[in-house]
Structure 1
């Protein structure tokens, strides 16, 4: 139960965002002969003002990714698979040939095609001692970008922002329908921007570090994208270009990878942040913007082999359900690869973050404009990934400029574009520059320490909440000052809980808590800069600041006892105690936890860090039931005690309901109990329905409940009324 309060305006805005329109011009479809890895469409799309692409995320029939518990030679992996299938009825199977550089190295996985339609072989593989997991291979289209044609900046077409979600869920990447919902109209991941833009490196004062002699030299940065031309005039330090697709070219056919690389490391014209960095170009998408999970796994393994320092992913998708992909991201960061990823262009709705940017060990970057306003298209939290372990944490981690940014064009020169695909390389380039600036200062550089420095130095924006901006706006110079003085430690994100602070702590600050209400649960990310592994020693301790006021609040804590890689979670459940049933005031206290990691190189004692999490809440007397409301918001942000409803319960890959097309009363699951709305209506519950009604060709039957007859009935409109 929630108290009726003044946040209705916010709710109405959320409802208003349900109606959006997106336009499209040209349609492409992509189909694959998966076994032979041959695309039937590999040509570069002709220049058009926009492109509509019908993309799908689908499991490849009869193909499975067999992940082993270590890295083995090809012959050894073949032996393990043969041994597992020998005693089964499976007769026809083969290992898919992977023709790339990683095939020359020991690997931890194979792609197996089993032609027999039986689960016996899969179960046998899962039970083999050398096999870690067996997952279905996925053909995915984390669609990237169809760039607007352009010559000089003055020729760029200005495209006003349009919501990327016309009643359906889309991934970070452009055009993608990866969450199991219906396809939608096209949108641009990078949008052409108005004239008069400024150099992003000047705005963020990269020249301060350049003048100190730091330019990214000696730092290896990998760009996972659409490739880059070897002879592009903006780049002089391309160390290696690799192709992981089936198209046998390292060149960029779309322009997305070229623009991203330019923001990071262009040496001329629109200069990048780290012009002297060592560029490693990984082409992981075809010109039709198609990829496979196994392509990424091979490319990730090769990045580890090449000892990459920073990895930029201006892409994304629903990979929270793709275990091999997620596990490999963890392995990358465990090997000290600092991964930076775009948070997505699916705003302004909440809970629209994209993977891997929403993972705890990855730096997830959102976008702002040059007026320090959150870009409308920038995705925002809370996280919908790691819910069983992390429970809706705060993301993005920070924000930076993503609107009207200059970067390299496909054929030379510069262009001006927008999107969180811009924000990610801004931060990746800044991180590369920072690493070169502290490489000679004996600083403990790892994914957690760099992330901690970025968070600690970020400038908080005054009019944005925590799920829009994270810790705030990137401050490159201050980040350098923090990082050069860094000492290994643990930290919390966010570092405090103040449910009276608005707008930053929205939505928690929109109303006070009271006895009898469902608990408010705030989820904290634990960052461990002391080591890739760690643990929370003993149990966290809750201490009220005042013996009287503090006892008005009850606090329960759940947490990950083992921290890996570099991170964990702390879930704090807050509710008013029985003593506060008739009390009004502010209660506060703190949680104290101790993090411990193994000794560092040359150290004898374990590393330890004690953290304090202050908590402050406003409590009011329990209101009568007539003044309470149970808010069932389909675009619900709060989890828990909120929930992410799904319209189609069979689509378990999508935690959110983006269509809100409810044809009948259904059961909703709340923490600790089941909630059936019809049952409570029968017992006297009043129901208020907010809806967005308009003419549509879709007719849905709607029943109403008559309080007098205590019966459900349907209006006399031919059995249906217009409803979305």
Structure 2
């Protein structure tokens, strides 16, 4: 992480899985203002450099662009007979290697100097001694066993001084089930053909209009991703609890009571319906699981 404009007041943390599979994976970036920058107000711009290292293989070699360096470990006077994937013209072993590393399924190559011709192979099992031929594996192309890919991510952040407590709201995300694993019915029971609520609530998705109204009126909203024992109520004017499904633990209830009574925390709750008779009435038999499904909570 390198700052390009503004004061260096950001701590940047990155969460990333140890192994990234093709077309999957994630990069989580957390930005936090240092204590020394609590009085700073302005824009901070910087660049986050991400380096991904992969072991050299036929697959990763095929993905590389540009000319290949001189092949290391190639065998002069050697031919790999059979197992041809493709062939084409090449004026040197390096050109042959460059051709074969772009061919899907190519793991080895053979260059015939008499004809200036390259043969891309899927195996080296047919290895024989033959003059005028040079052969080698696609994996040996001078990168010491790894391929390094670098990406630079520009980041621009507007930093403000901590707002006064009355303008700070804490949104309870912890007690909202993000992807319900049980039977959680919809808010509207009129949707009889699909009773289950498949998606959870979030301030930036189905409640984004509320977030826009709060910001327009000068409020700052933090999202709480842990239980109630993990935040300092002295920093917030109101705890906003909207449509919770998860249970509240004893320690949470005890702390929240103290936060409201002794620290002056405001508590605003938008609760959904909870009626045991209705929940029992909308139970159903699921043909896929061959089980009776009963709602675990009221509406979602």
Question: What's the TM-score once normalised by structure 2's chain length?
Answer: 0.38
Higher RCO by CA contacts (8 Å cutoff, separation 6 or greater): 2
| Greater Cα radius of gyration, structure 1 or 2 | 2
Give the structure with the higher percent strand: 2
